[in-house]
Amino acid sequence: MFTRSLFLSLMLFAGHAVAADTPDLAPIKRWLAKQDELRTLQADFAQTRSYKNLRDPLAAPGHIWYSAPGSFRWEVGDPAKTVVLRKAENYYVITPAKKRAERTPSAALGQPGNARRMPMMDFPFAKNFEDFNRKFETLAVATTGKRCHLELLPRDPQAKNALSAIRIDFDTETGHLIAFEFVTKDGSSMRNEFSNVRINQKIDALQFDYDFTGYEVIDAK
């Protein structure tokens, strides 16, 4: 009887421990539900890239524009050193200094292994909670005041093998991003902290155009 009671007690304790370690996904569901209200997004950000073999991180300003359902522009540097543009059925990674652009069909980004390319390409991060859960494994959720912090890993095996963490912070009231960070297995990281966030304000359609005159446009491998 003592052995049986001890065994049952241990099983119940183990069950409570597993339950305690299970993240509360309710803030994520509420956050993604707010994305249904998102029509446009404009924001500035400060990007910090840290590398294992560099003592000091590299910092650069940036800007992001998004218009539902699929217009997207992300640029880093002033003047821009890298521009990521989603136009029609293609993504372009543009390097203005080299007059060069790599073109990738949007559909190709959904294939296994492509999640490790430019992480900001997949914006918004998910269409709904089911899509989010299909793409990411949630490791931790912590809410302090209006700020929610997520620790994630991609479910795609190749992307998961390259990353040790994805960290996302968002405002629980407005749903807008505060920061996101990608940390690689070698200890390098890229963190983006957002400011001057403007939601559902009109954006000129020309913002999602780009003049490729004089550029070498190639298909990404």
Mean pLDDT of 110-128: 61
Q: Is residue 66 part of a domain?
A: yes
Q: Is residue 75 part of a domain?
A: yes
Return the pLDDT at 89: 84
Using a 10 angstrom Cβ sphere, with 0-12 exposed, 13-18 middle and 19 or more buried, the burial of residue 218 is: exposed
Mean pLDDT of 183-194: 93
Q: Is residue 64 part of a domain?
A: yes
Q: What is the CATH number of the domain that holds 214?
A: 2.50.20.10
Q: Is residue 9 part of a domain?
A: no
Mean pLDDT of 146-171: 92
Q: Is residue 19 part of a domain?
A: no
Return the pLDDT at 15: 45
Return the pLDDT at 17: 40
Question: Do you find a cis peptide bond into 69, omega within 30 degrees of 0?
Answer: yes
pLDDT in tens, 102-115: 998 877 665 555 54
- DSSP β-bridge partners for residue 46: 61, 193
Q: Is residue 88 part of a domain?
A: yes
Q: Is residue 14 part of a domain?
A: no
**Residue 97 · residue 106 · CB < 8 Å:** no
Domain hosting residue 202, numbered range: 25-219
Domain total in the chain: 1
